[in-house]
Structure formats: structure tokens, C-alpha cells
Amino acid sequence: MQILRNGLFMLLTAALLIACSSSNSPEKVAKEYINAVLANDIDGLMNTLYIPADAHKDQETLMRGKLTMMLAEASTRVISQGGVKEVTYSKPEYNAEKTRATMAATIHYKKDNAPKKEETIVLVDTKDGWKVSL
């Protein structure tokens, strides 16, 4: 019984560590980034961004302000096009060192005559996992 309990404890601990680890994929971060933009979620968007450690201390505040305005414009565009039908993503293309990746996201709106919106997403592999580089 003790062996079973210890084995179960080790399995649950491993699952928790995997779930909480900072390892992520460019695909997952790109989807989180686009979902945050479409949901007008500034906090979610900021969580996906790469802000260099040597950045000026006010840079994050300035970015937040400008991105809040960008999200409002994106939200207006989504509403005017009847909402989002689907978002498709390309496979990531990596640099030789696999420290940078580029993906394309195509947003398809619900209105039949609405043009598709294509976004190029550049990601960088950081010590905290993959992040979007603006």
C-alpha cells in the first residue's frame, strides 16, 4: 500500500511540475497572443510579450498604454466584421539556432465579404519560455 501511495505521489508531483513549467511552444504562445488581442485582454497580451531585462523601467507602462489603444481598434474591427469565425496558424519557421520563430495567423471574420486579416508573429525563446517580440 505504501509503495502504491508513493508511486501515486510521484506521478502527481511530476504532472504538477510539467503543468507549471515554463516550457511552452511558439504555437501555444502565438495562440495566447492572438486570443488576448481578440478578447481585448491587455493583461493576457502583456503576459505573452518579451520585454528585455535592460529595458527602461517605464517602457512596460508605455507599451501597455499604446497596446490598450491598439486593442480597442482591433475590438472595433472584430465587431464591425460580425465577430471572428476562425483563426488559422502556419507552422513556425525557426532560425538556425531555434531561438527565434516566425508564424502567421490568419483571422477569418464572420461576414462573408470581410477581408481576412493576416498577422505575422515573431517569437523569441527566453529563460521564461517563448515570448512574442514586437
pLDDT digits 0-9 by tens, 81-127: 999 999 999 999 999 999 999 999 999 999 989 999 999 999 999 99
35-to-46, 79, 122 alpha-carbon distances in Å: 12, 15, 16
Where do the domains of the chain lie?
Answer: 21-132
Q: What residues have CB less than 8 Å from 64, skipping those under 6 apart? A: 42, 46
**Helix, strand, or coil (residue 36):** helix
- What is the fold of 21-132? Nuclear Transport Factor 2; Chain: A, (3.10.450)
How far, in whole angstroms, is CA 96 from its chain's centroid? 22
8 pLDDT higher than 70: no
**Helix, strand, or coil (residue 100):** strand
Return d(Cα 40, Cα 71) in angstroms, integer.
Answer: 5
pLDDT digits (tens, 9 = 90+) for 10-30: 444 444 344 444 458 999 999
State the amino acid at position 9 in one-letter form.
Answer: F
Radius of gyration of the chain (CA): 19
Q: Is residue 27 within 8 Å of 48, Cβ to Cβ?
A: no
Of 113, 109, 132, give the one whose Cα is nearest residue 33: 132
User: How confident is the model over 51-65, as a mean pLDDT?
Assistant: 86
pTM above 0.85, yes or no: no
42 pLDDT band, cuts 50/70/90, is very high
Query: Looking at residue 60, what is its pLDDT?
Result: 85
Q: How crowded is residue 108: how many other Cβ atoms within 10 Å of its Cβ? A: 15
